[in-house]
Amino acid sequence: MSGWRAVVRVLRSPVRTVVNDLVTTVFPADCRCCEGPLQRLSTVPVCEACVGRVVRHQILGCGRCGEAVNLALEMEDVRFAGMLAGGLLCRDCRLAAPEFVRAVAYGSYDMEMRGLIALLKFHGVRGVARLLGWQMAEAILQLEGEAAAELLVIAVPLFKERERQRGYNQSVLLAGEALRRLKRLRPGWKLTAAHEMLERRKSTESSFVLSRKGRRRNLAGAFKVIGDIRGREVLLIDDILTSGATARECARVLMRAGAAKVWVATLARAQKRFMTRQYDELHKDPGKLVARWDLAAPEPG
C-alpha cells in the first residue's frame, strides 16, 4: 500500500506543476504584496517569496512590552534595569508598568509583514491568517515555561459594528490557526479559546497618534469581561502591538475581574523605524552588539 502512495505522489507532482502553469498563464495574477507574478494556483494572492521574507525579529527589547531598546542612547536604562539578567525595561514600563506580565511578538511590523496584515484586516483576504498560523504559534511558544499549563485564550475584540463590516475578527482567526498548530506541537499545553469572555463596549480611534493621557481617555470603559475568569491565567491575542495601550487596558480590565495573570502574544510589534535600522546595521556585525552591552556591564564584585 505504501508503494502505491509513493507512486501517486510522484504522479501528482508533475500534474500539479502543469495545472499551476496553465492557470497562471491563462489567468495571470499578481502578488498583492510585491505585485510580482504569482507562480502557482492559490486561494491567497501572495507569492511564496513574500511569505518567506516574514522572519523573526532579533531585537533586544523591553522585558515587559517588547519595545526595542535604543542602543545608542539608552545605556542608562541598562543600569537601572540591573542589566539583561534582571530584565531590561523601557521608560514607559518603568514609569507605569502594564498589568500584563509579558508581551511577545513574532516579527516587526514592517515590509511584508505590514502588507500581509493589511490584506487580512482591510481587504478581506481571510486566508492570510492560515498563511501566518505558524508564525502566530511561534510567538506564543515564547511564553512556554513561563505561562501556566492551562490558559484561557482571548482575542482582543472588535466593536460589533466594525466586526460586522469586516465580516470577522482577524485576531480570532489568527488565534484559531495558532491553537490548531499548538495542539499538535504541544498536546500537553491546554490552551482554550474563550473569545466571548471579553467584549468591546464602544468604538475607539487608533491610539498610536494620541498622547498617553489621550490613550487612557480613548479606551476608558471600552472593554468588559463576560463570565468568570477568577484565578485563571489569560493569553491575550492581537495582530499588532503598536503603542501597547489596547493591551494595557485589556489586561487592566481582566485583572480587575480576577484573572491571575495576563500574557500578550501578537503577530507583529511596531517599532520606531530608526530603531529597526539600528538593529539591522548591528546584525551585520554581531560583535558590535555584544561589545555595546559589554560597555555597560557592571564591574566585578
Q: Is residue 290 a part of any domain in this protein?
A: no
Q: Is residue 71 a part of any domain in this protein?
A: no
Whole-prediction pTM value?
Answer: 0.78
Phi, psi of 219 (to 5 degrees): -100, -5
Torsion over CA of 222, 106, 54 and 122, rounded to 10 degrees?
-10
Q: Is residue 91 a part of any domain in this protein?
A: no
Q: What is the pLDDT of residue 214?
A: 77
> In this structure, are 34 and 156 located in the same domain?
no
> In this structure, are 36 and 149 located in the same domain?
no
Range of the domain at 44: 15-53
Q: Is 49 helix (H, G, I), strand (E, B) or coil?
A: helix
Element holding 193 (H helix, E strand): strand 190-193
Q: Is residue 75 a part of any domain in this protein?
A: no
Element holding 235 (H helix, E strand): strand 233-241
Q: Which residues of the chain carry a pLDDT beneath 50?
A: 1-28, 73-75, 78, 80-86, 274, 286-301
User: How many domains is the chain partitioned into structurally?
Assistant: 2
> In this structure, are 119 and 205 located in the same domain?
yes
> In this structure, are 22 and 139 located in the same domain?
no
Q: What is the pLDDT of residue 111?
A: 83
> In this structure, are 30 and 174 located in the same domain?
no
Q: Is residue 213 a part of any domain in this protein?
A: yes
> In this structure, are 258 and 150 located in the same domain?
yes
Q: What is the pLDDT of residue 81?
A: 43
> In this structure, are 140 and 45 located in the same domain?
no
CATH number at residue 237: 3.40.50.2020
Q: What is the pLDDT of residue 273?
A: 62
> In this structure, are 240 and 118 located in the same domain?
yes
